[in-house]
Amino acid sequence: MTVAVGSAFHAASPTASHAAVSYTAQAGGHRALTISLFVAFVLVTLYITFWASRQTRTATDFYAAGRSFSGVQNGIAIAGDYMSAASFLGIAGLIALFGYDGFLYSIGFLVAWLVALLLVAELMRNSGRFTMADVLAFRMRQRPVRTAAGVSTIVVSIFYLLAQMVGAGSLVALLLGVKGAVAQNIVIVAVGALMIFYVTVGGMKGTTWVQIVKAVLLMAGTTLVTLLVLVKFDFNVSALLSTAAEQSGKGAAYLEPGLKYGATATSKLDFLSLALALVLGTAGLPHILIRFYTVPNAKAARKSVVWAIGIIGTFYLMTLALGFGAAALVGSKAIAASNKAGNTAAPLLAEAVGGGAGSTGGAVLLAVISAVAFATILAVVAGLTLASSSSFAHDLYANVIRKGQASEADEVRAARIAAFVIGAISIVLSIFAQKLNVAFLVALAFAVAASANLPTILYSLFWKRFNTTGAVWSIYGGLISSVVLVIFSPVVSGGKTPLISGADFHWFPLENPGIVSIPLGFLCGWLGTVLSKDRSSEEKYAELEVRALTGVGAH
């Protein structure tokens, strides 16, 4: 699902190009306001981070904020962690460009929470301590399982980080009127530096409060734009949709299935693969899983997910107004001319409903909504960096390299160093991934999470026979298969807008590997278990089951 859809709009009309230029000029003309809002948010979050740093003394404080957040607070923070740049920028762009098929992303992201609520949230809170690997290693051999889980966590987090930082580059380039790769690269480096600071200084407590502030701002901003869009059409949804179809250039096909996923058998399979990745991936996302450890008990974990579902569900319903409103009021051609992947549809819509190019209202709303999107990116990248650095420090450093002999101070120090390294890697990779749609990049992260993490989590919690060999095979089987299939897919080479131009070495026809790699992850876990004679993990299954279901013995 590479959604760098420039090929569909290669011959953008002069009108579309002019519109895009006017939006960029308008953004650039009000740079003082834009920069002021950005700086205000950054200053607020820096204050929160410094405040949190004074309360971060132990490993529990750094990894889980001392388990001090209520279910409501954690639910808002989960929503803030989950409603990423893909949600706000990518999905709005996909709906604006592809209509009905673009909205399928929203459905997948939302339905996925039912899997997390019913199968994972409470059990993970009761069974683990700081990371996903705590649950997997409870009845397995520590070193091989923690190594595999740590590697998987870092890979998934980096995929997700790419999406946020690519979104940041597109957004700020639009706002400040900057052109050229160098300017966007500077933005990516700046975002990376901020996320490293949030994690190394504030730990989980600082990161959580940043996510809560961001969630409130995002919901307020999205609600405002949604209402303004509906006002433009006198709250007549039918008029909104018909105007969107007309301005999309696709006519009635814009509101029907198949504009993106339906032309061929391959595209239909791609859609099924996407759906599987989105629905099953959430329950395996490391930065979501660690949020369940910041509450004091399982009841609060359940409440967290219920609140998160309510907030996220409302938000994804509003993405309909954002996407179709952008198509109707800005026009698909103008959106594609501004950013081929559609990542700037939401900010451009904000300017349009605020009064249009050249108006003070349009400039103010464009700056406000873009600042909210920037806040979204900063909050999510902080959560992702924390998840991956925590996994490295707690799983790989403390339990594999130091064999459980590391002190809490050593562990937290290793987490801070890991945040620097992972942040640097993400910055470099993001610079090379700027042609890809942010929603697509997140879908890849979901595919890897669903292939490598979810099978192992479910087997560990529900299958008594499951053992260390099965866990290692499941993680590496799902991880390697999903990453290899992406490398040899049209996303990287041979597609309409590949990551590597001028080369074609793809042999896997789909753009999302989930339909193949997710079953492979489950199959590898089963094969590894039944082919191994190791039955030692069965001894502690009863203890894990009691702990997972009742919370007795939970940290």
Give DSSP secondary structure letters for 356-374: -TT-HHHHHHHHHHHHHHH
- Which residue did the predictor score with more confidence, 165 or 179? 165
Say whether pLDDT at 246 is over 50.
yes
Confidence of residue 19 (pLDDT cuts 50, 70, 90): very low
- Which residue did the predictor score with more confidence, 329 or 180? 329
Alpha carbons 231 and 422: distance in angstroms, whole number? 45
The pLDDT of residue 114: 78
Confidence of residue 433 (pLDDT cuts 50, 70, 90): confident
Confidence of residue 174 (pLDDT cuts 50, 70, 90): low
Mean of per-residue pLDDT scores for the chain: 79
CB atoms within 10 A of CB 118: 12
- Which residue did the predictor score with more confidence, 343 or 196? 196
Is the Cβ–Cβ distance between 339 and 313 less than 8 Å?
no
Say whether pLDDT at 132 is over 80.
no
Is the Cβ–Cβ distance between 53 and 283 less than 8 Å?
no
The string of pLDDT tens digits covering residues 189-212 is: 887 888 788 888 877 888 888 888
Alpha carbons 548 and 535: distance in angstroms, whole number? 21
Closest Cα to residue 321, out of 98, 83, 95, 111? 95
By residue count, the chain amounts to: 555
Confidence of residue 469 (pLDDT cuts 50, 70, 90): very high
Poorest-pLDDT segment among 27-41, 271-285, 362-376, 414-428: 27-41
The answer for residues whose C-beta is within 8 angstroms of residue 30's C-beta and 6 or more apart is 363, 364, 366, 367
Three-state SS string over 96-112 comes to HHHCHHHHHHHHHHHHH
Query: CA 172, 389, 55: angle at the middle one, nearest 5?
Result: 90
The pLDDT of residue 527: 94
The string of pLDDT tens digits covering residues 76-119 is: 988 888 787 667 777 888 888 888 888 877 787 778 777 777 77
Say whether pLDDT at 29 is over 60.
no
Extract the tokens encoding 367: 């700056």
The pLDDT of residue 200: 81
Q: Which residues of 139-168 are buried (b: 16+ CB within 10 A; e: fewer)?
A: bbbbbbbbbbbbbbbbbbbbbbbbbbbbbb
Confidence of residue 27 (pLDDT cuts 50, 70, 90): very low
The string of pLDDT tens digits covering residues 407-420 is: 878 888 888 888 88
Mean pLDDT of 31-51: 80
Confidence of residue 551 (pLDDT cuts 50, 70, 90): low
Confidence of residue 21 (pLDDT cuts 50, 70, 90): very low
State which of 256-270, 286-300, 480-494 shows the largest mean pLDDT.
480-494
Say whether pLDDT at 401 is over 80.
yes
CA atoms within 13 A on the CB side of 400: 20
Confidence of residue 519 (pLDDT cuts 50, 70, 90): very high
The secondary structure element, H or E, covering residue 115 is helix 100-115
Mean pLDDT of 500-526: 89
241: left (phi over 0), alpha (psi -120 to 50) or beta: alpha
Extract the tokens encoding 412: 């937290």
Poorest-pLDDT segment among 125-129, 414-418, 475-479, 528-532: 125-129
Mean pLDDT of 488-494: 81
The answer for residues whose C-beta is within 8 angstroms of residue 15's C-beta and 6 or more apart is 333, 334
pTM of the model: 0.79
Mean pLDDT of 214-218: 88
Alpha carbons 279 and 496: distance in angstroms, whole number? 26
CB atoms within 10 A of CB 404: 9
The string of pLDDT tens digits covering residues 522-546 is: 999 999 999 988 777 777 777 777 7
443: left (phi over 0), alpha (psi -120 to 50) or beta: alpha
The pLDDT of residue 555: 55
Say whether pLDDT at 20 is over 60.
no
Q: Which residues of 310-327 are buried (b: 16+ CB within 10 A; e: fewer)?
A: ebbbebbebbbbbbbbbb
Ranges of beta strands (E only) in 132-217 are none
Say whether pLDDT at 474 is over 70.
yes
